[in-house]
Amino acid sequence: MNKLWTIFWGLLLMIGCQQAPEPKEVSGTLQLGHEVRAFRDNADNKEYWLIDKSGRLMTEYQKLLGTETVKYQPVQATLKVREITEPQEGFGADYDGTYELEEIILLQALPN
């Protein structure tokens, strides 16, 4: 019986100690708006829901576009992100995956 408890606690410890995925650098098209936080990754052409807990991305996006009103205008972005579990509900549930922003590397307007 002690052996079973040892195995059980060992497995529980391994599950609890799983680390978050490493951040990765991605490039693609970013589009922000009232209910939109979309990032289309150039590498796999999938569209990701983007979570930015700092709020800095929206601020930089608005500075780039020269307006406080978000216009859903796509911009080129290079970001450092972590891929996380997708939301099961809400706006993010409709995307191919979910990225959590770690760092903004580059934001630039798309050529006309």
Q: Torsion over CA of 79, 46, 37 and 92, rounded to 10 degrees?
A: -130
**Containing structural domain, residue 82:** 21-109
In a domain, 63, yes or no: yes
Which region, left, alpha or beta, applies to residue 45 given φ > 0 means left and ψ of -120 to 50 means alpha?
Answer: left
In a domain, 39, yes or no: yes
Tell me, yes or no, if the pTM score tops 0.95.
Answer: no
How confident is residue 14, by pLDDT bands cut at 50, 70 and 90? low
In a domain, 4, yes or no: no
In a domain, 64, yes or no: yes
- pLDDT > 90 fraction of the chain, expressed in percent and rounded: 56
Instruction: Specify the number of domains making up the chain.
Output: 1
Half-sphere exposure of 45 (CA within 13 A, CB side): 0
Q: Under a CB-based contact definition with an 8 Å cutoff, are residues 26 and 39 in contact?
A: yes
- Give the pLDDT confidence of 91-108 residue by residue, as tens digits: 778 899 999 999 999 999
- Give the pLDDT confidence of 43-91 residue by residue, as tens digits: 999 999 999 999 999 999 999 988 776 678 999 999 999 999 866 667 7
CATH of the domain at 28: 2.40.50.500
